[in-house]
Structure 1
Amino acid sequence: MRSADRLAVLFLAPLFAFAAAFFVLPLAELVLVAGSGPNGAFEYLAILANPRHVQTLVATLALSAGVSVATLALGTVVALFLARTRFAGRALLVSALTLPLAFPGVVVGFMIILLAGRQGLLGAFTQSLGMDRLVFAYSMAGLFAGYLYFSLPRVLVTLMAAAEKLDPALEEAARSLGASRLAVLRDVTLPGLSPALIASGAIAFATAMGAFGTAFTLATRIDVLAMTIYTEFTLNANFATASALSLALGLITWGVLALTRNMAGTGVAAAG
């Protein structure tokens, strides 16, 4: 073995050891625990036969997909505006929009409670207008708002970087040929942003699928997969079901990330 190869092995050995200790071994243990329950290896079929688990899985997928679509729609508009417009206070606005990056999920959930909880600002405002108090913090709508707030800056950072790299000459050429603004957006801008849109959508989806802190804070009437895993593990001591649900969540998220990585042609990483 050449000295360069020996040096590479020397540096890579700690990486392999770390991956084995903190990824491979826990994952293997999850597989073993999932098959150690009364249903054995059929535990995965058992969770699919449980109506509550199926309903929770469908609700989590729908919530994550909805958050991804809404985040991409808002993020694209804001990113294009900020990438192409220079004005006083722009840097301050970008800083404010990316501020949620500094907040953990529990803080985001608490902010949603302050906004739309039983004593929240929106409720006080609607009551002052003679209407019923508007309270949605402890429902899927509140969780949707929290995940949207949590995911938007992550998507925005990626889309702004991609928008700044777009060649404005392509849009000018399309306009000179008579294309409308909508046609330019549809045929030139969005295709140019498509790798970043796919990657950002995957980040938003994976974050919403696995996020726990916000759901835990707002979990009065919320039943999503992360909360179900927590309940099975801590309250019911049902380790086999919790492990099987964890693996199902991980496989779904991994599958979406792998698919979008191939579609985007670039690496996609989840933030959580």
Structure 2
Amino acid sequence: MSAPAPIPDRHGRAGRNRPGSRVWLFAVPGMTLFAAFWLLPMLRLVGVGASGPSGAMAYLAVVTNRHYLWSLVSTLLLSAAVTVVTLAISSLVGLFLQRNRFPGKSLLLAMLTFPLAFPGVVVGFMVIMLAGRQGLIGALTDKLFGESLVFAYSLAGLFLGYLYFSIPRVILTVIAAAEKLDPALEEAARSLGANPLRVFFDIVVPALTPALISSGAICFATSIGAFGTAFTLATNIDVLPMAIYNEFTSYANFAMAASLSIVLGIITWIALALARSLSGNSVPATA
């Protein structure tokens, strides 16, 4: 087969083949959507945050105002706790499901991932049914101790709700990553006298680390920005999404709401970028 004829340049001279010279046209729809639904709204949001009575000082108020700072710290600590506990539980459950075959495994996996179908409001309602004033835990503690244990409307309830919808996402990631593990490495470690705990921490954990970092970052970012569950349980909860909602709807403080939103977005972006770098998925620089 003969080679394709070279493509002439604009002066009519024969040049190198350029089969991908128009590939960039395929990026036009995506870039249009990116500009319309992300870039332009974000620029507008930044402008709104700087156009308030205090101007750009609204961004500084996030860390100087005690109320906003506490909301930010509470959100970060809650999201970090949810991420750590989710990774611990999901790693063990995911490894167990990937390495064991038993009747009803498919049904169990389907039930574990079922919370992915629920919106945040439904998750909040389920937390109320479990730990609310008329919930199951309250009824049991009232019969056992004569006093109802109610924590659905606090950070503990929100922690439980975030944990509920975070675990299924990480379990699926761990199962997919565990399927790629080489059993020969674990067998070699056992043959050299390593105990199961040593094999787990020296072989399994390093192999799963990139997947755990990536899924942990998504879990952290989701917990930071989740609103539906917090709104349902918002009696005694002060997290950043609720602060943004209150500033926007209750006080019509659009500049502060925009500033808090930008800070929330920056923190989430940093977490995802850092996780991408640590997991080894960053694109190396070319000379």
- Counterparts of 1:190 and 1:130, CA distance in 2: 42
Moved more, 37-46 or 187-196: 37-46
Structure 1 residue aligned with 2:78, among 51, 58, 63? 63
Alignment of 1:124-135 (within 5 A): 124-135=139-150
Cα RMSD, aligned residues only: 1.2
Structure 1 residue aligned with 2:61, among 46, 63, 68? 46
- The match for 2:177 is 162
- The match for 1:223 is 238
- Counterparts of 1:46 and 1:88, CA distance in 2: 57
- Counterparts of 1:89 and 1:168, CA distance in 2: 25
Matched letter for residue 100 of structure 2:
T
Alignment of 1:102-251 (within 5 A): 102-251=117-266
- Counterparts of 1:195 and 1:245, CA distance in 2: 31
- The match for 1:5 is 21
Q: What displacement does 1:4 show? A: 4.5
Q: What displacement does 1:5 show? A: 2.8
3-state DSSP of counterpart to 1:17: helix
TM-score (norm 2): 0.90
Q: What displacement does 1:128 show? A: 1.9
Conserved 8 A contact 1:196-1:264: yes
Q: May I ask how many residue pairs the two structures share in their alignment?
A: 266
Matched, 1:262 2:264: no
Conserved 8 A contact 2:61-2:68: no
Deviations 1:139-187 (A, max 9, x none): 0000000000010001111011001111111111111111111111111
- Counterparts of 1:247 and 1:12, CA distance in 2: 27
Q: Which has the larger radius of gyration?
A: 2
Structure 2: gaps (5+ residues): 1-8, 10-17, 283-287
TM-score (norm 1): 0.95
- Counterparts of 1:231 and 1:184, CA distance in 2: 50
Matched letter for residue 40 of structure 2:
L
The share of aligned pairs that are identical, in percent, is: 61
- Counterparts of 2:219 and 2:150, CA distance in 1: 25
Deviations 1:4-46 (A, max 9, x none): 533x243221111111100000000011000001111222112
Moved more, 140-149 or 118-127: 118-127
Shift >4 Å, 4+ stretches: 1-4
Q: What displacement does 1:131 show? A: 3.2
- Counterparts of 1:249 and 1:136, CA distance in 2: 26
Conserved 8 A contact 1:34-1:40: yes
